[in-house]
């Protein structure tokens, strides 16, 4: 899955046509969990995210806001940068398609493909959805609307440059079939294979009826089609063609994207790379969509659940935990503030927070603040100890196949076993009866479980892991306030 010991992961680059929504947050969190987990496994990681700033969509939104496209993109991109910071996303770089480093590479690759004879001039007649920035055939639409946005598409007739994608159809299909891991999950792989049974149409890769884009190197009257431009970020962001970083990290191990842009990443992008004689990425990993109360995120509902506000209100780690736990990776899921509050109160405040707090209290009360070192065969008979001892292996196994929710469920099994151990052991009685050895074994197990939990939640909830380390100082503990305050839930629906 990775190049020697190196691991390059990307997210899609977001359209800064508005403020980030919870779907953007979700994708960045998944990529961040994977990146942190790979670093923990001593991989050298390069993690790239960014913004996709050209095209008709941005131009239109900017015009509506009475701003120039660049001014508008600058303002909105600030919010995507804020999002990364607030969510504690550990990206190594942030590529903007309006940066010179990207524009140069996009033009170089366009020229390379053109010079090879894989780009030719023709006239395009067909439908276009500005929100998807995609060309559609009549049969792709219902009642003249695109399926993704449910909006009327435009009729378009313009002269343009076409990329001979059809030439690469068989090669792409062969590649997908020969590489089980190229598209994840399997259902998406089958979807692409089935679509590739039909002849592939060449792709219009230039636009001429607006100007907000990268000029074609061979025809200044046209701009590069925004998807041809955007996909190239994965190589421009790594420093194609000559930088040390590009040589070290390309091909990317994972392009993480949402299901709506599967085709662009598994067919269009490989075709561009093949035409430009660049190696293909190792995998395209596809996540599902987050809905709000079962409905697609729209412009109005999207801004009502602002992920930056949510993280500030409920805590970054709580939001990260919720999204990774609640949604089965690869499938669609629902977001609601009520469900978030319930998870915070039950899993975080009650289970994890309580485990840490009560253990610290008992270490103070019974052992003057330091955990006794215990070595005894008895440990193997204690369920919480056994679960904790095997936790890293169990969690790694789940994460390596993108079962994030299951990984967290495994961690919570250990947490719950430790909380149960308190009820079963009744340490307050042991103390009264002077059974110090038994009490020592018990408190050692509790601390051991917490340490293993800390180690394994680290990539999901990095700030919480740090807080636990700070409270469990070797030698002497430093109890602080509970990790997760309960949230008033009397107003829940």
Cα–Cα distance between 367 and 440 in angstroms, integer? 8
Output the 3-class SS for 250-283. CCCCEEEEEHHHHHHHHHHHHHHHHHCCCCCCCC
- Interface residue with ligand ME8 among 33, 45, 47, 52 (CB under 6 A) is 52
Cα–Cα distance between 168 and 174 in angstroms, integer? 10
Q: Considering the complex, what minimum distance in angstroms separates the CB of residue 133 from ligand ME8?
A: 7
Cα–Cα distance between 200 and 1 in angstroms, integer? 29
Contact between 324 and ligand ME8 per CB under 6 A: no
Burial of 325 (0-12, 13-18, 19+ CB in 10 A): buried
Closest CA to 129 of 63, 51, 55, 39: 55
Marked catalytic residue, from 19, 24, 54, 265: 24
Contact between 29 and ligand ME8 per CB under 6 A: no
Contact between 317 and ligand ME8 per CB under 6 A: no
- Interface residue with ligand ME8 among 23, 270, 315, 427 (CB under 6 A) is 23
Structure-token pair, residue 493: 């629906």
149 tagged catalytic: yes
Q: Which is nearer to ligand ME8, 56 or 359 (CB)?
A: 56
299 tagged catalytic: yes
Marked catalytic residue, from 84, 146, 285, 459: 146
Closest CA to 110 of 220, 255, 200: 220
Cα–Cα distance between 253 and 4 in angstroms, integer? 11
- Interface residue with ligand ME8 among 297, 319, 445, 450 (CB under 6 A) is 297
Q: Considering the complex, what minimum distance in angstroms separates the CB of residue 91 from ligand ME8?
A: 14
Backbone dihedral angles phi then psi of residue 339, each to the nearest 5 degrees = -65, -35
Stretch that binds ligand ME8, among 176-184, 211-219, 253-261, 339-347 (CB under 6 A): 253-261
Contact between 13 and ligand ME8 per CB under 6 A: yes
Q: What angle do CA 348, 86, 148 make, to 5 degrees?
A: 95
Residues 81 to 100 in contact with ligand ME8, rule: CB under 6 A: none
Contact between 106 and ligand ME8 per CB under 6 A: no
Q: Which is nearer to ligand ME8, 15 or 240 (CB)?
A: 15
Residue/partner pairs of 270-273 with CB below 8 Å, 24 or more apart: 270/168, 270/172, 270/175, 271/163, 271/165, 271/168, 271/172, 271/203, 272/109, 272/113, 272/163, 272/228, 272/231, 272/232
Stretch that binds ligand ME8, among 9-17, 360-368, 447-455, 482-490 (CB under 6 A): 9-17
Contact between 26 and ligand ME8 per CB under 6 A: yes
Q: Which is nearer to ligand ME8, 253 or 261 (CB)?
A: 261
- Interface residue with ligand ME8 among 7, 8, 15, 385 (CB under 6 A) is 15
177 tagged catalytic: no
Marked catalytic residue, from 19, 21, 112, 357: 21
Structure-token pair, residue 420: 């149960």
Under a CB-based contact definition with an 8 Å cutoff, are residues 443 and 362 in contact? Answer: yes
Compute the CA torsion angle 34, 345, 298, 227 (nearest 10 deg): -10
Structure-token pair, residue 15: 């359209």
265 tagged catalytic: no
Contact between 252 and ligand ME8 per CB under 6 A: no
Number of residues counted as binding ligand ME8 (CB under 6 A): 19
Contact between 260 and ligand ME8 per CB under 6 A: yes
296 tagged catalytic: yes
Burial of 469 (0-12, 13-18, 19+ CB in 10 A): middle
- Interface residue with ligand ME8 among 109, 235, 257, 459 (CB under 6 A) is 257
In three-state secondary structure terms, 162 is strand
- Interface residue with ligand ME8 among 237, 251, 258, 307 (CB under 6 A) is 258
Q: Considering the complex, what minimum distance in angstroms separates the CB of residue 34 from ligand ME8?
A: 14
Structure-token pair, residue 66: 């009475």
Stretch that binds ligand ME8, among 147-155, 176-184, 257-265, 344-352 (CB under 6 A): 257-265
Positions annotated as catalytic residues are 21, 24, 129, 132, 146, 149, 296, 299
Residues at the site binding ligand ME8, with contacts judged by CB under 6 A: 12-15, 23-24, 26-27, 52, 230-231, 233, 257-258, 260-261, 289-290, 297
């Amino acid at each position: 899955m990775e190049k020697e010991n190196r691991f390059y992961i990307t997210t899609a680059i977001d359209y800064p046509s508005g403020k980030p929504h919870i779907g953007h947050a979700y994708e960045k969190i998944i990529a961040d969990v994977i990146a942190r987990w790979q670093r923990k496994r001593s991989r050298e990681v390069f993690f790239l995210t960014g913004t996709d700033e050209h095209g008709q969509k941005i131009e239109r939104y900017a015009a509506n806001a009475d701003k120039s496209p660049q001014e508008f993109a600058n303002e909105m991109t600030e919010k995507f940068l804020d999002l990364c910071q607030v969510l504690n996303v550990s990206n190594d770089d942030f590529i903007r398609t309006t940066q010179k480093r990207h524009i140069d590479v996009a033009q170089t690759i366009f020229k390379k493909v053109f010079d090879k004879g894989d780009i030719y001039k023709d006239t395009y007649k067909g439908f276009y959805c500005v929100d998807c920035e995609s060309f559609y055939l009549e049969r792709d639409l219902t009642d003249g609307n695109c399926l993704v946005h449910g909006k009327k598409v435009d009729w378009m007739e313009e002269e343009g440059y076409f990329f001979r994608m059809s030439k690469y159809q068989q090669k792409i299909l062969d590649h997908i079939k020969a590489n089980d891991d190229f598209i994840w999950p399997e259902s998406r792989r089958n979807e692409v294979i089935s679509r590739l049974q039909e002849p592939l149409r060449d792709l219009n890769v230039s636009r001429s009826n607006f100007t907000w884009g990268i000029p074609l190197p061979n025809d200044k009257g046209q701009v590069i089609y925004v998807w041809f431009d955007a996909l190239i970020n994965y190589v421009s962001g790594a420093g194609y063609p000559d930088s040390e970083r590009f040589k070290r990290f390309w091909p990317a191990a994972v392009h993480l994207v949402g299901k709506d842009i599967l085709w662009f990443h598994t067919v269009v992008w490989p075709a561009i790379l093949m035409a430009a004689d660049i190696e293909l990425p190792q995998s395209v990993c596809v996540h599902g969509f987050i809905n709000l109360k079962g409905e697609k995120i729209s412009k109005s509902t999207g801004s009502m659940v602002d992920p930056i506000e949510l993280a500030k209100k409920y805590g970054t780690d709580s939001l990260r935990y919720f999204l990774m736990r609640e949604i089965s990776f690869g499938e669609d899921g629902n977001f609601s503030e009520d469900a978030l509050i319930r998870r915070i109160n039950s899993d975080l405040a009650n289970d994890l927070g309580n485990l840490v707090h009560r253990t610290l209290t008992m270490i103070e009360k019974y052992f003057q603040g330091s955990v006794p070192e215990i070595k005894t065969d008895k440990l193997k008979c204690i369920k919480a100890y056994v679960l904790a001892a095997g936790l890293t292996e169990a969690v790694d196994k789940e994460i390596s196949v993108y079962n994030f929710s299951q990984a967290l469920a495994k961690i919570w099994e250990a947490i719950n076993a430790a909380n149960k151990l308190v009820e079963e052991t009744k340490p307050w009685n042991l103390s009264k009866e002077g059974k110090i050895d038994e009490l020592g074994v018990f408190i050692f197990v509790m601390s051991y479980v917490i340490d293993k939990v800390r180690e394994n939640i680290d990539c999901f909830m990095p700030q919480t892991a740090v807080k636990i380390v700070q409270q469990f100082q070797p030698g002497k503990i430093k109890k602080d306030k509970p990790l997760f305050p309960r949230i008033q839930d009397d107003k829940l629906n």
